Chains A and B, each alone.
Chain A
Amino acid sequence: MQIYLPIAEMPVDPLIIVIMGAAVGFLSGMFGVSGGFLMTPLLIFFGIPPSIAVGTETAQIVASSVSGLSAHLRRSAVDFQMGWLLVGGGVAGSALGVGLFRYLRTVGAAETFVTAAYIVFLSVIGSLMLLESLSSILRQPKAGARRRRRRRTAWMAALPAPVRFRKSQLYISPIPPLVLGFLVGLLGAMLGVGGGFIMVPAMIYILQMPTNVVVGTSLFQITIVTAVTTVLHAAANQTVDVVLALLLIVGGVVGAQLGARVGVLLKAEQLRALLALVVLAVGIRLGFDLVLPPPEPFVVEEL
């Protein structure tokens, strides 16, 4: 069976798309990430034009992150004060990202940019994750001997207009969260990712937020910023394919639930090492596309 994607303007087998969504959803449920950084390259391998892969994937991330956010809202594990600041920065970053993406499309460089950015990005993230998880697997015995983290927030309090964040028990300037939100929003808009895997470590290690509100607050930011990004991509680039997004969401929702159930059976370090390997593999696969001679010496596109 074939279904015609109205925006990508190509026929696809809907079952394959649903299975792809489920596979990435499974990984994302298992690892607790939104999975955009795996889904977008997969869509590109599948033949979806990179710009449509990026635009459509943002819509799917809205669905997967709102689904996670609903659970965190029930546990009231969201710092809204911090969340809105991150959203503010994120929306500005997203607007800039969509504008830059539009420019890259007009000069015909969007494809190379997306591929090259993904290679850099996946290799760096994958290597860091692999090193970190391997070292914690090797450092097994000291389980329970958790070091008390000393909060180093003085430099952030010294920046202009510090504010008290009750939920996060912080007294810092709004500038670092705004900048963090901005960078994640920019990245998300240009690469079709939610950015949780950058946001979460940055919230823990840079903003020094307590871990119990980190995931909920980052999901809050991702949901709203990717929602805005989706509308911006639709308005500026007409690259959001709603049929493709729905197929991915259907697969993703089911996959994520199954993945979450399998995830609890594995140890966190092993999970992270596994995810790191997947990330590296996708990066290397993309690298081949860019480094190997192209199958056709010319690219012909209808304008």
Chain B
Amino acid sequence: MRALLAAALTFLAAAPARGAEIAVALTQTLVEVDAGFSGARLVLFGALSGVDPADLLRPANLDIVAVVKGPSTDFSIRPMQRQGIIWTRGAGAVLRGAPSILLTSATRPLDEFTTPALRRRLGLGAESVDFYPLLRISGDAISLFGGDGARRFVDAFLDAGRASGRYGEAAQAVSFRKGALFSIDVELPPTTPVGVYAVDVYLIRDAEVVSHDEASLTVSKVGVERQIYDIAHQRPIAYGIACVVIAVAAGLAGAAAFRK
């Protein structure tokens, strides 16, 4: 009897979560990298519906996780090697098409409410991304590191990503507002690359996705910097000549200003 009652209560408690939904919106869908850019704070606003507000006060019951994923790029990873008395970059590996940014923010540490299988499926946290198929190790590096090479290269890549703020996992990163409203702050580092970013938010209960919502974000260079960068890459010869003209003018102006 008691067991039945407990089961009924559990069912009742769980019932509202069946229809639980998560929705998310970004306060800005465009991040502009301009002259003063030294990183940006991205604010995700979200709302839960079909959830008993009491559940939100017990975060152990329901968890929210957000993943901000930057455009894919290639990276080179080279070991520093001693040659004679100097240290130089040795043969290394190239990582093709790895996310340039991967920032995961959640209510709790990921391993407290997700299984490794779920993390891999949703791409939660840098550890869950399978980088090995993306890795191209040069022949010299294979003979240098043996079978251990791939792991060393991936670890080095993740360490560098965390150090630069491009990769990271934050727990206790969801702040609950009034009722079923919440917000998540994500810090984009100063080296944030341009491109289209995907933002995915999941509502998770018992290591299962209850609801999912997504948004996208565009990071672009604006202003004079954007124009300079574009001209330097699209019309490099004209850009070079312009640099020389500016330098000559500045040099002559300086000489004239100080002549007297």
Contacts and interface: CB of A to CB of B under 8 A. Distances in A.
Interface of A: 1-4, 6-7, 9-11, 59-60, 62-68, 70-71, 108-109, 111-112, 116, 227, 230-236, 238, 240, 242-243, 245-246, 249-250, 253-254, 256-257, 290-294, 296-303
B15 interface: no
Interface in B97-125: 100
Nearest to B241: A231
B253 to A, nearest CB: 8
B254 A303 contact: no
Given A111-B89, A298-B156, A249 B228 contact: no
B258 interface: yes
Contacts of A292: 87
B74, B159, B255: which has the most chain A beta carbons within 10 Å? B255
B160 to A, nearest CB: 4
B250 A112 contact: no
A216 to B, nearest CB: 14
Interface stretch (B17-25, B28-36, B170-178): B28-36
A64 to B, nearest CB: 6
B213 to A, nearest CB: 30
B74 A6 contact: no
Name B's interface SS: helix
Interface stretch (B49-57, B127-135, B200-208, B230-238): B230-238
Contacts of A236: 236
Nearest to A232: B240
B80 interface: yes
Nearest to A62: B247
Contact of B229 (A7, A108, A227, A231): A7
B6 interface: no
Interface in B216-260: 221, 224-226, 228-229, 232-233, 236-237, 239-244, 246-248, 250-258
B84 to A, nearest CB: 10
Given A302-B193, A303-B94, A66 B252 contact: yes
Nearest to B87: A294
B191 interface: yes
Contacts, number: 190
A242 B255 contact: no
A62 B249 CA distance: 10
B157 interface: yes
B197 interface: no
A116 B156 CA distance: 25
A233 B86 contact: no
Interface residues of B, number: 60
B160 A298 contact: yes
B243 A245 contact: yes
B240 A250 contact: no
20 contacts: A4-B36, A7-B232, A11-B37, A11-B38, A59-B246, A60-B247, A62-B251, A68-B255, A71-B255, A112-B86, A112-B89, A116-B88, A227-B248, A233-B240, A235-B237, A242-B239, A253-B254, A296-B159, A303-B73, A303-B76
B228 A297 contact: no
A77 to B, nearest CB: 15
B86 A63 contact: no
B76 to A, nearest CB: 5
A59 to B, nearest CB: 5
Contacts of B193: 302
Contact of B87 (A6, A64, A291): A291
A7 B251 CA distance: 22
Given A70-B255, A234-B232, A298-B160, 18 more contacts: A1-B36, A4-B33, A6-B228, A9-B229, A59-B246, A62-B248, A66-B252, A67-B251, A108-B92, A116-B86, A242-B242, A243-B225, A249-B251, A293-B80, A296-B80, A298-B159, A301-B78, A303-B94
B136 to A, nearest CB: 12
B191 A10 contact: yes
A235 B240 contact: yes
A34 to B, nearest CB: 11
B59 interface: no
B66 interface: no
Given A2-B38, A290-B86, A300 B75 contact: yes
B236 A63 contact: no
A66 B247 contact: yes
Given A245-B243, A290-B87, A298 B248 contact: no
Q: Which of B80, B193, B247 is packed against the most chain A CB atoms within 10 Å?
A: B247
B236 A234 contact: yes
Given A62-B248, A294-B87, A240 B232 contact: yes
